[in-house]
C-alpha cells in the first residue's frame, strides 16, 4: 500500500520536532503558573518566555499576547462585544458565526475585499464599529490588503481585527505593519500542537472576556494556562518564521501542479489565481465530479486533500468563500483544495496529478461534462 500523501496542510500541518521537544520538556514542569512557590514560578517562566518569543516574532509587545485554546477562541474573544460588527464575506466560520448580527462586506471575483463598499457601509452609520478581515484565506490562499482595510476603518473611527491564523509564518506577519487592533494566531497551522492559540491585543477596548474567574492572561482569559501547548507553540513559531523563505518556494510546486492539471483536464478553473496567494494553496474545480467524490476517491488512493475548510467532521458542502466570489453553485460544489507543506516534494505533485487525472479520465469516459469558464 502506498504511503499516505498529505496535501491538507491548511487544515493542520505536522508538528515540528522542535515543538514536540519543547512540549516534552514542559510536561516535566509540575507547577501551576499562577502559584507563587518555586515550581509555580518555573511554570510561569515557561509561559512568559513563550509570550516574549511570540511577541518578538510578530512585532508585538509581550503584554499584548493573550493565550487561548486556538484560533477560533481568539477570534471570538476579539469580536465579543456590543459594537457594530462588519466582516468580510469570505471569513472563516469562526468569524462569520461569532455574532448573529455581523454585516457582510462583499468581495470581488478573486475574493479580495471591496474596500469601497466597506467605506460606504461604515459611512452609512456613525455607530462605533469593528471590522474583521482575515490576512489570508484558508480555502483559496488569497491574501488581503489589511493595511488598506485599516486605512478605511480609521477614517470612520472603527477598530480592526485580523484573523492571521492561516497566514502566520507563511508570509511575514508584523502587527505594527498590519495596523490592526487585534490579531489572531493558532499553533497547529504552523507546526505546533492543536488546542492552543493567541490573540494579540493592541487596543484594550476591543472585545471582552468570555471566560472569567481566575484572572489569568491579564483578566482576558480565565483558566490555568496550557503550559506544554504554549511552549510548543512558541518553538514551532520560531522554527516556522525562520523558514518563511523556504515556504515561498512551494509556489513553484503549486504552479507546476496547476499547469499540469489544466493540461490534462481542459476547463479546470483555479480560484483566486488573479490575486496574490499563499505559496502553498490551490483551490480548483474541474468538469463532472463532485468535491465529496473527489476527496473520497483520492483518500482511497492514499492522498489527503480537502473540500473547503476542515471545521466540521464529515461535512463536505459547497464553499461559502467561492459563492461569495460569485462562483456558480454547479462549479463551487466541484472545488477541492490542495495545500502543500514543508514535507512535500516534486514526486508528491506528480503522484497527485496522476491520481487526479486518472479519476477524471475514468469519469469523462462515462459522462463528459463541460465546465463554463
pLDDT digits (tens, 9 = 90+) for 173-207: 999 999 999 999 999 999 999 999 999 999 998 98
Which of 25-34, 91-100, 315-324 shows the lowest mean pLDDT across its residues? 315-324
**Confidence check: pLDDT of 371 > 60:** no
According to CATH, the topology of domain 5-13+245-366 is 3.90.1150
Task: Yes or no: say if 191 and 19 are a contact pair by the CB < 8 Å rule.
Answer: yes
Confidence of residue 361 (pLDDT cuts 50, 70, 90): confident
**Confidence check: pLDDT of 310 > 70:** no
The stretch 312-325 carries a mean pLDDT of 77
Q: Say what percent of the chain tops pLDDT 90.
A: 88
Domain ranges of the chain: 5-13+245-366, 17-241
The stretch 122-150 carries a mean pLDDT of 97
pLDDT at 91: 98
Axis-axis angle for helices 38-57, 227-241 (nearest 10):
30
Tally of CA atoms within 13 A in the half-sphere of 340 that contains its CB: 28
The mean pLDDT of the chain is 94
SS3 assignment for the chain? CCCCEECECCCCCCCCHHHHHHHHHHHCCCCCCCCCCHHHHHHHHHHHHHHHHHHHHCCCCHHHEEEECCHHHHHHHHHCCCCEEEEECCCCHHHHCCCCCCEEECECCCCCECHHHHHHHHHCCCCCEEEECCCECCCCCEECCHHHHHHHHHHCCCEEEEECCCCECCECCCHHHHCCCEEEEECCCCCCCCCCEEEEECCCCCCCCCCCCCCCHHHCCCCCCCHHHHHHHHHHHHHHHCCHHHHHCHHHHHHHHHHHHHHHCCCCEECCCCCCECCCEEEEECCCCCHHHHHHHHHHCCEECECCCCCCCCCCCCCHHHHHCCCCHHHHCCEEEEECCCCCCHHHHHHHHHHHHHHHHHHHHHCCCCCCC
pTM beyond 0.75: the answer is yes
**Confidence check: pLDDT of 241 > 80:** yes
CATH class of 17-241: alpha beta
Per-residue pLDDT tens over the stretch 138-168? 999 999 999 999 999 999 999 999 999 999 9
pLDDT at 352: 98
Clarify whether 311 is annotated catalytic: yes
Q: How far is the C-alpha of 371 from the C-alpha of 24, rounded, in Å?
A: 51
pLDDT at 311: 55
Per-residue pLDDT tens over the stretch 37-57? 999 999 999 999 999 999 999
pLDDT at 38: 97
Axis-axis angle for helices 115-123, 146-155 (nearest 10):
20
pLDDT at 329: 92
Q: What φ, ψ does residue 135 adopt, rounded to 5°?
A: -85, -40
pLDDT at 373: 39
The stretch 28-32 carries a mean pLDDT of 97
The stretch 308-325 carries a mean pLDDT of 73
pLDDT at 309: 58
**Confidence check: pLDDT of 84 > 50:** yes
pLDDT at 368: 43
Catalytic residue among 53, 162, 283, 311, which? 311
pLDDT at 1: 52
Q: How far is the C-alpha of 108 from the C-alpha of 123, rounded, in Å?
A: 20
pLDDT at 303: 98
Confidence of residue 370 (pLDDT cuts 50, 70, 90): very low
Confidence of residue 210 (pLDDT cuts 50, 70, 90): confident
Amino acid at each position: 500500500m502506498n504511503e499516505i500523501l498529505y496535501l491538507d496542510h491548511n487544515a493542520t500541518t505536522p508538528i515540528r520536532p522542535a515543538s514536540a521537544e519543547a512540549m516534552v520538556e514542559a510536561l516535566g514542569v509540575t507547577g501551576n503558573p499562577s502559584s507563587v512557590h518555586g515550581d509555580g514560578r518555573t511554570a510561569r517562566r515557561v509561559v512568559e518566555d513563550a509570550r516574549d518569543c511570540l511577541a518578538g516574532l510578530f512585532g508585538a509587545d509581550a503584554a499584548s499576547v493573550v493565550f487561548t485554546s486556538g484560533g477560533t477562541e481568539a477570534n471570538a474573544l476579539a469580536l465579543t462585544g456590543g459594537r457594530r460588527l462588519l466582516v468580510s464575506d469570505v471569513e472563516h466560520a469562526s468569524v462569520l458565526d461569532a455574532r448573529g448580527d455581523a454585516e457582510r462586506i462583499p468581495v470581488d471575483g478573486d475574493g479580495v475585499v471591496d474596500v469601497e463598499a466597506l467605506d460606504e457601509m461604515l459611512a452609512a452609520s456613525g455607530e462605533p464599529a469593528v471590522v474583521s478581515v482575515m490576512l489570508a484565506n484558508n480555502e483559496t490562499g488569497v491574501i488581503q490588503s489589511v493595511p488598506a482595510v485599516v486605512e478605511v476603518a480609521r477614517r470612520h473611527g472603527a477598530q480592526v481585527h485580523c484573523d492571521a491564523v492561516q497566514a502566520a509564518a507563511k508570509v511575514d506577519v508584523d502587527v505594527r505593519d498590519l495596523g490592526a487592533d487585534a490579531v489572531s494566531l493558532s499553533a497547529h497551522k504552523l507546526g505546533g500542537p492543536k488546542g492552543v492559540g493567541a490573540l494579540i491585543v493592541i487596543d484594550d477596548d476591543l472585545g471582552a472576556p468570555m471566560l472569567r474567574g481566575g484572572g489569568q492572561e491579564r483578566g482576558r482569559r480565565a483558566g490555568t494556562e496550557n503550559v506544554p501547548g504554549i511552549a510548543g507553540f512558541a518553538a514551532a513559531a520560531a522554527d516556522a518564521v525562520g523558514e518563511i523563505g523556504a515556504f515561498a518556494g512551494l509556489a513553484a510546486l503549486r504552479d507546476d501542479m496547476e499547469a499540469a492539471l489544466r493540461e490534462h483536464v481542459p476547463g479546470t478553473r483555479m480560484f483566486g489565481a488573479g490575486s496574490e496567494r499563499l505559496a502553498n494553496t490551490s483551490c480548483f474545480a474541474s468538469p463532472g465530479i463532485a468535491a465529496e467524490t473527489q476527496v473520497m476517491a483520492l483518500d482511497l488512493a492514499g492522498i489527503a486533500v480537502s473540500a473547503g475548510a476542515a471545521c466540521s467532521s464529515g461535512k463536505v458542502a459547497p464553499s461559502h468563500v467561492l459563492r461569495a466570489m460569485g462562483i456558480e453553485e454547479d462549479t463551487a460544489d466541484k472545488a477541492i483544495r490542495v495545500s502543500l507543506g514543508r514535507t512535500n516534494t516534486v514526486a508528491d505533485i506528480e503522484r497527485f496529478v496522476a491520481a487526479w487525472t486518472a479519476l477524471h479520465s475514468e469519469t469523462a469516459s462515462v459522462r463528459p461534462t463541460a465546465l463554463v469558464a
